[in-house]
């Protein structure tokens, strides 16, 4: 899937053999696209002399390959500012204070055929490991069971607030949820359902910040219990914490924005007649760039016609 207009695009390279993909990222980068759907932030110059790519990923988690050129900048994950006005449920606050940090379970917008079965599986894994847990009901309605006192079910809640108060996170492996968890230094267990979720699960496990992912089709209470024990080992917790500290220092949102502007050719964005204005149109066959104001003035003066313009 790709946008077709010049300027600012997001591309998902679902086919790693796509010629544009191979040309833009090189051989090593091309191999990194071999399995997952991979999202990129892309800026094309107006003359298409250069393509600037910013993969939405952390270099601490996935270092930039050696054969990626200077037109590719791996800035880091893009994060929204922390939620400052969130007021938690007093019952949730009391639950968090009442014992050791719980395990978080949540599958976001994932909808399964039998959420009750998945809820029972999670509750059994919790029972086997004797952990406390916070279960996010999400779109799938998980956790709609009678739960023990060691489990608290929540609805929509800011990840940055809740993840800072749990021991580890178990989720579907969406890129945003994965980034939120590891940024806060939390051991992560990924239960992928489809798409790039498998990729993020394998990358996190490869970094030592969690056990191997468990595809949803293979998930059992026993496998989940084993994964919980592995995620909460001191070595895993230490590795996740160190990874989170490195990601915290990246400030990907700022670096990505700075990189984007550094690569813009501002002269190619200016109106030729009024350089202080942004060009919106260009004259066909000539490439002369015109702002909306300049184009309107020339048309009103009968120097050009609307049919002479193109975006």
Please write the tens of the pLDDT for every residue from 249-286. 888 888 878 877 777 778 888 999 999 999 999 899 88
Closest by CA position to 105, among listed 225, 15, 212, 243? 225
| CA 220/CA 226 separation, integer angstroms | 10
- Residues 11 and 231 sit within 8 Å (Cβ to Cβ): no
Q: Which residues pair with 283 in a beta bridge?
A: 309
Which residue, 268, 277, 273, is CA-closest to 301? 273
Q: What is the pLDDT of residue 53?
A: 65
- Predicted local distance difference test score (pLDDT) of residue 22: 43
Contact by Cβ (8 Å): 134, 199: no
- Which residues in the chain come in under a pLDDT of 70? 1-55, 139-145
| Per-residue pLDDT at 287 | 85
Mean pLDDT of the chain: 80
Using one digit for the tens of pLDDT, what is the confidence trace for 37-59? 344 454 444 344 445 566 677 88
Q: How many CA atoms lie within 13 A of 252 on its CB side?
A: 23
The pLDDT value given to residue 11? 37
Q: What was the pLDDT predicted at 144?
A: 62
Q: Which of 278, 308, 272 is nearest to 292 (CA)?
A: 278
The CA distances from residue 31 to 36, 102, 158, 194, 252, in Å, are 10, 38, 35, 19, 24
Largest separation between any pair of C-alpha atoms in the chain: 81
**Boundaries of every domain in the chain:** 8-77+252-265, 90-248, 270-310
End-to-end CA distance of the chain: 22
The top-level CATH class assigned to 90-248 is alpha beta
pLDDT of 166 reads 97
Cα–Cα dist 11/135, whole Å:
33
309: β partners: 283
Return the pLDDT at 20: 38
């Amino acid at each position: 899937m790709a946008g077709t207009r010049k300027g600012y695009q997001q591309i998902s390279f679902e086919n790693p053999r796509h010629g544009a993909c191979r040309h833009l990222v090189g051989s090593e980068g091309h191999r990194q696209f071999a399995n997952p759907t991979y999202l990129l932030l892309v800026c094309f110059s107006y003359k298409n002399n250069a393509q600037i790519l910013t993969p939405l990923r952390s270099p601490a988690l996935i270092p930039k390959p050696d054969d990626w050129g200077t037109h590719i900048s791996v800035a880091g994950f893009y994060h929204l500012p922390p939620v400052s006005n969130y007021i938690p449920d007093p019952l949730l606050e009391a639950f968090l204070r009442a014992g050791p940090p719980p395990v978080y379970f949540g599958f976001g917008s994932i909808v399964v055929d039998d959420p009750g079965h998945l809820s029972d599986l999670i509750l059994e894994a919790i029972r086997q490991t004797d952990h406390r847990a916070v279960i996010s009901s999400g779109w799938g309605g998980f956790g709609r069971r009678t739960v023990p006192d060691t489990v608290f079910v929540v609805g929509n809640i800011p990840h940055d607030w809740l993840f800072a108060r749990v021991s580890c996170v178990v989720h579907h492996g969406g890129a945003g949820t994965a980034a939120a968890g590891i940024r806060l230094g939390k051991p992560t267990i990924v239960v992928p359902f489809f798409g790039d979720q498998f990729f993020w699960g394998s990358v996190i496990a490869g970094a030592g910040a969690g056990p191997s992912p468990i595809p949803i089709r293979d998930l059992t209470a026993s496998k989940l219990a084993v994964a919980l024990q592995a995620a909460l080992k001191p070595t895993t917790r230490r590795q996740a914490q160190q990874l989170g500290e490195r990601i915290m220092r990246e400030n990907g949102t700022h670096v990505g924005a700075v990189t984007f502007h550094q690569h813009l050719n501002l002269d190619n964005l200016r109106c030729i007649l009024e350089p202080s204005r942004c060009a919106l149109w260009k004259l066909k066959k000539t490439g002369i760039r015109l702002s909306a104001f300049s184009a309107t003035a020339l048309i009103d003066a009968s120097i050009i016609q609307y049919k002479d313009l193109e975006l």
